[in-house]
Amino acid sequence: WDIQAGQGRRPLPNIFFRNAHCALLVYDTTSQESFMNVKRWHGVMLQCGPPHAQLVGTKVDMEAQRRVDRQ
């Protein structure tokens, strides 16, 4: 499921996490705001989602526009 929450939206109910074994927390490496939202999504996942998650950065080929450090 792609349950991205844009500005002004709240995370969808935990029905999307039901019976999930893991989650992908995806962020845009060219957007610091996208990366900062990962913390909120991680909190939602811990409350009602699967016990395991993998952090995934997109747009890694756009090095000149990168706004999130590799750390």
Query: Tens digit of pLDDT for each residue in 13-35?
Result: 566 677 788 888 899 999 999 99
- Looking at the chain, the whole-number percentage of residues with pLDDT higher than 90 is 31
Report helix, strand or coil for 26.
strand
Judge if pTM exceeds 0.85.
no
Round to whole Å and give the CA distance between 3 and 30. Answer: 19
Q: How far apart are CA 69 and CA 71, in angstroms?
A: 5
AA identity, residue 46: L
Three-class DSSP category at 32: helix
12, 3 Cβ separation under 8 angstroms = yes
